[in-house]
Amino acid sequence: MRIYADENMPLVQQFFSDLGQVTLFDGRNACAQQLADADVLLVRSVTNVNQTLLQANSTLSFVGTATIGLDHIDQAYLDQRQIPFVNAPGCNAQSVVEYVLSSLWYLAQRYQWQLSAKTIAVVGVGNIGSRLAKALTILGAKVLLCDPIRQQHEPDFPHTDFSTVCREADIISFHTPLQSEGEFATEHLLNAQTLAQLKPDCAIINAARGGIIDNKALLAEAESLAKLGKKRPLVLDVWEHEPTILMPLLAFADIATAHIAGHSIEGKARGTEMLYQSLCQQLNIAPKYQLSQFLATPAVEKVQINPNFGLPDVQSLARLLYDVARDDAIFRYTLNNKGFDWIRKTYPARREFSSLQLSGTAVPNWLLQLGFSLEQ
């Protein structure tokens, strides 16, 4: 079996080498001839899987993307060719949540906020949005949920329409897929018109897809606000037209990163594991490996919690594992010289909250709900 996998997919050799010959390729620059003899194709969001890519291949029997999003996959074409396809929903959800929390703590410190006094809207309440909403509630924020698809299918879902979100939210965090057409289209959901409806100091966080926000409109608004001596807090992990970004927008972002919100070791490797399990199921064989076999001991493994530990202390605890300001600094320093994809490819090791084991006489349950672990 010939297995072709994105070169930036972690642990792919460890999981898949027993199933066939694994060949790694540059996902951003994949071409049809390169994949002509593939039996299995494993990709990430940078590879558009469509007729153009697969036109030279007649042997493909499995396509998997180690991502939640599907906007890079032509599912209709795969269905037409009867090629089984799977994605990895929720694989990096916790990683994205931790990125957003780190960004919020950064903004709170910079602008002297109390998050518990803020109304935070979560737009898109799937795997990531649901976890984020739970975490924000634990931290004491008022949370608005905006997801018209869930409202349509769940009569009791507490949906807040986007117009109300624009008027009432102090912070908006986007977690929708990118849809360019249809009743629930999200492309340019935030545009010149909807930006004008926001509170002047409403913070924007986008760790979903770049095209959800009209980047040119966002830049125009930022430039107009700057002329008035004002600034909207802004966190951008995703950008329109990646890897080529709208460079002038970078100067107005408080936090700017290279589409790495979901790039924890666990988040990326969990996607690989999920594809491995799906392929094993298709082949009707029992999975031989699981992620825990391959994870290294973290640099900081255990912390003792003082009985007086409270909500104000959680930021310091989280920083033992991740500080988004580091990724922002790397992005600004290396983007022009090394490029967007180089930053993603060489992203340093980052562990999730679950890798940190907490001990003490009274570890608060809410810390475990945020994702930290009890000492084993």
Q: How many angstroms separate the CA atoms of 133 and 102, rounded?
A: 15
Residues involved in catalysis? 209, 242, 259
Say how many Å lie between the first and final Cα of the chain, rounded. 40
**156 annotated among ligand-binding-site residues:** no
160 is in an annotated binding site: no
Phi-psi region of 339 (alpha: psi -120 to 50; beta: other; left: phi over 0): left
237 annotated as belonging to a binding site for a ligand? yes
| Calpha distance 119→124 (Å, rounded) | 16
Q: Is 313 annotated as a binding residue?
A: no
The enclosing H or E element of 277 equals: helix 265-283
Of residues 181, 133, 185, 125, the one with CA closest to residue 153: 125
Question: Phi and psi dihedrals of 179, rounded to 5?
Answer: -125, 125
Beta bridge partners of 142: 119
Do residues 84 and 275 make contact, with C-beta atoms less than 8 angstroms apart? no
Cα separation, 273 vs 295, in Å, equals: 12
According to the annotation, is 23 in a ligand binding site?
Answer: no
Is 79 annotated as belonging to a binding site?
no
Name the helix (H) or strand (E) containing 83.
Answer: none
Query: Binding site: which residues?
Result: 45, 67, 147, 176, 237, 262
Query: Binding site for substrate: which residues?
Result: 45, 67
